[in-house]
Each structure stands twice: as structure tokens, then as C-alpha cells.
Amino acid sequence: MAQSFHIYKFMCFDRSLGPNSAADLYIKTDGCADASNCVRSLEHVQVAVTLSASQRGKVELSLTSPSGTRQILLARRHVDVSSQGLNGWVLMTVHCWGEDPRGNWTLTVSTTSTSGAFAVWKF
């Protein structure tokens, strides 16, 4: 039976984004190095995001691993004009399969022709 290990990091930001702008948010993880069952190889990464946006579909989220692998977690969606933002949306990727989780992770939030405020991300 496969074992499941979790590394949780919480980051709260109160950052506004104007039209046609981007922001990089950083989290550093050690893969639970002090634990007897430390994580040295990833299967997937989940990021839970809460943010407000005047048009949700104009927001793009990408994640860059410590190894430099960049993956788009949430692409722009031109027909999504909702002003509901994202409330605890969990986004997942397997593009970093097999990578070492230790190091600096970068979540990039970018907008086009909209404004929003980034609130919380959980890694």
C-alpha cells in the first residue's frame, strides 16, 4: 500500500493587482527534512487559492518549482466573466513528478484588463 505524505505551507498576502500586471509570491519548503519520512520525490502538488477579481477569467496562475519547471495551474478563460473570484479553489499539477520539493516555489498571478486582490495560498 502506498504511503501519502503531505507538506503544508500557508501564505497570506494582501496584495492588489491592477490591470495588465503580475506578482510573484514565494514559498520555501524543506520537504519536512526533520521528519523520519521526509519527502524527496513528488507525485503531485496542490495549491489552494483565494482571491478576488473583477473578471475571474482574466486571471492566470502559474507555479514554478525549485528545479525550474513552470506549469500553468489556471489559464485565462475568455468566456468566464464572473466577478466571484476564487474562494479556496484547489489547483493541482503532476508536471513536477519525481522532482525534489526542497527549495523556493514561485506562484505567479497575472491579470489582463482586470483588477483583483490576492488573498491566500496554501501549498
- The 10s digit of each residue's pLDDT in 53-104 is 888 898 999 999 999 999 999 999 999 999 898 888 899 999 989 999 889 9
Average pLDDT, rounded, for the chain: 81
How many independent structural domains does the chain possess? Answer: 1
| Range among 6-10, 22-26, 102-106 with highest mean pLDDT value | 102-106
Q: Which residue range(s) make up the domain with 50?
A: 24-30+41-122
| CATH, residue 71 | 2.60.120.260
What's the predicted TM-score (pTM) here? 0.81
Has residue 10 been placed in a domain?
no
Nearest to 60 by CA among 71, 74, 46: 74
Has residue 3 been placed in a domain?
no
Has residue 14 been placed in a domain?
no
Has residue 96 been placed in a domain?
yes
Alpha-carbon span 109 to 12, nearest angstrom: 14
Q: Provide mean pLDDT across the span 44-55.
A: 86
Has residue 4 been placed in a domain?
no
Exposure string of 87-104, with b = 16+ CB inside 10 Å and e = fewer, is eeeebebeebeebebbee
Q: Given pLDDT bands bounded at 50, 70 and 90, which one contains residue 27?
A: confident
| Range among 3-17, 49-63, 106-120 with highest mean pLDDT value | 49-63
Has residue 66 been placed in a domain?
yes
Has residue 73 been placed in a domain?
yes
pLDDT at 77 (0 to 100): 93
The cell 523556493 sits on which residue? Answer: 104
Beta bridge partners of 47: 91
Has residue 1 been placed in a domain?
no
